[in-house]
Structure 1
Amino acid sequence: MNDTNKTILALVAHPDDAEILCAGTLAQLKEKGWQIEMATMTPGDCGTTTLSREEIGRIRKQEAADAASLLGANYNCLECDDVFVLYDRPSLLKTIALIRKTRPQIVMTMSPSCYMVDHEMTSKLVQTACFSAGIVNIKTEGAEPYFYTPHLYYLDAMEGKDKFGEAIKPGMIVDISDKIGMKEEMLACHASQRTWLREHHGMDEYIIAMKAFSSHRGEQIGVAYGEGFRQHLGHAFPQDNILQAELGDLVHVDF
């Protein structure tokens, strides 16, 4: 791998997951000269009470592309069905192909433990794809093997808790105080979701909810706003904290 390939891939489950959980950190890395790539497993085609899967899927993919463009990022959708993300061969091949095509040094994905199985399956798929991208006997059309295991970081679970309501402590928190405006602007691109979240989740003003959770993480490190991460440190994965190396004092590991 070329060490100058400063590319980060944020591969999440649905449009708006990255904006809620890691957009501030992506903006910090953009400022450091990193190329940002954004992708979702699904187009979020169940996030509506009024439109067909095809209609809401088109809308949400455009919203995701609009949000990504604010960071000069590309956006890709792997076109899995919302609510039906499976840990299976077709989904893995799509995920491996994306890793090979984008050739990231850093990958960010969903928490292994979260309220929604789509999130958990995305986490598993991305873990395997990062490990497997260089395996030559796995064939992906139009994508050659990528002989590098990226640094893998898991985002906070939604609301920072697992399915049993227990708090999940992040391994590090990134200070995003000066990027909260960008994070809010990116999330605001997902206009279709305000009505959906109000009607299905009983939750209005999800920008306010995002800022409240970011403020909570920020308070833990004595700043206005933060985002939490855990690094995958299993066998064969990089052991150094490249986020800390790149962002310096913005990354807090002792709190």
Structure 2
Amino acid sequence: MSNHESIPSRKVALAFMAHPDDAEITCAGTLIRLQEFGWEIHIATVTAGDCGSMDAGPEETARTRTAEGTHAAELIGATYHTLNEPDGRVVYDLQSLQKSIDLFREIAPSLVITMPLSDYHADHEISGQLGRASSFVYAAPNASKKQLLAGSQVPYLYYCDAINGHDRMGHPTSPSTYVDITDQLDLKTEMLACHASQLEWLRSHNGIDEYLTAMREHNYCRGGDIGVHAEEAFVQHRGHGHPTNDLLSELFSANRQANSPPPSLQAIH
């Protein structure tokens, strides 16, 4: 069995997100489980969230949100990073891509969770594109002037669930992988609560009155897909060059991949 078809010896996971709080909404439960399994965890955001306030200016907002992201990561012994690209104006260009590759080079992740390629927010989609491109090329010696760490390789790559489980056009998404986070949901909620500055912003701008409850309800909903209390859902990138075995399901063997019907549907059929 090749290194691409087995659990990697380098246990470093990177959640490469668009904004502070994206990881806590989408994949923090899985990050907690990985940390419990001895993995080194990094949470990175392309932006520092400088547009995430109805009152404060961009510099103050970015400082606040960076501090919130750092605090949330520290709750699980993770390291927080930001590329400081402009919130709401993320673009796929040479500068943003090189900054992303350089960060990957410094971390050398063997597992990457990034944003969905179709979601309600363009920042999410472009961050997913940056995460995908950086995953594939960061270990190429000439891709960055940063030191190439031992164990650098094309990582396992997963896209997190789109918001409310719907793509940019409002169509339901189809996960390939579920991770049971029943026992991690309370700590995940505590991590999201670190982003206190977003309470009024999400209420005013996105029409979300209680973002902690909204996050938990979505995890309950995903849990209902496969008959457990709370789940996070992902789509694995299995394109050429990337590992194709479902690492998350192998690590958390109680998982059921979504390529078979949920238990309720199996009973019907």
TM-score normalised by L of structure 1: 0.96
State whether residues 97 and 143 of structure 1, in contact with CA within 8 Å, keep that contact through their aligned partners in structure 2.
no
2:176 paired residue number:
171
Q: How far has the Cα of 1:99 moved from its partner?
A: 1.1
State whether residues 39 and 77 of structure 1, in contact with CA within 8 Å, keep that contact through their aligned partners in structure 2.
yes
2:245 paired residue number:
240
1:87 paired residue number:
92
**Among residues 145, 148, 159, which one is paired with 1:144 in the alignment?**
148
Paired residues for 1:12-23 under 5 Å: 12-23=17-28
Distance 2:101 2:144 in 1: 9
What RMSD over aligned residues (CA atoms) do the two structures have, in Å? 1.5
Structure 2: 5+ residue stretches without partners = 263-269
Letter aligned with residue 95 of structure 2: P
1:100 paired residue number:
105
Q: How far has the Cα of 1:147 moved from its partner?
A: 4.3
Distance 1:99 1:71 in 2: 20
1:10 paired residue number:
15
Letter aligned with residue 180 of structure 1: L
Letter aligned with residue 224 of structure 2: E
- Secondary structure class of the residue paired with 2:50: coil
CA displacement, residues 222-245 of structure 1 (integer Å, 9 cap, x when unaligned): 111100000001111111111111
Q: Identity across aligned pairs (percent)? A: 43
Structure 1: 5+ residue stretches without partners = none
Paired residues for 1:137-216 under 5 Å: 137-140=142-145, 142-144=146-148, 147-216=152-221
Distance 2:28 2:228 in 1: 17
Distance 2:190 2:37 in 1: 20
Distance 1:110 1:65 in 2: 19
CA displacement, residues 4-58 of structure 1 (integer Å, 9 cap, x when unaligned): 3211000100000000000111111111111111110000100111011000000
TM-score normalised by L of structure 2: 0.91
1:55 pairs with 2:66? no
Give the count of matched residue pairs: 254
CA displacement, residues 134-189 of structure 1 (integer Å, 9 cap, x when unaligned): 2233233x333774100000000111101211000111111100110011000000
State whether residues 110 and 152 of structure 2, in contact with CA within 8 Å, keep that contact through their aligned partners in structure 1.
no
State whether residues 21 and 192 of structure 2, in contact with CA within 8 Å, keep that contact through their aligned partners in structure 1.
yes
2:254 paired residue number:
249
Distance 2:193 2:68 in 1: 9
State whether residues 243 and 251 of structure 1, in contact with CA within 8 Å, keep that contact through their aligned partners in structure 2.
no
1:218 paired residue number:
223
Question: Deviating runs (4+, > 2 A) in structure 1?
Answer: 1-4, 134-140, 142-147, 250-255
Distance 1:109 1:3 in 2: 19
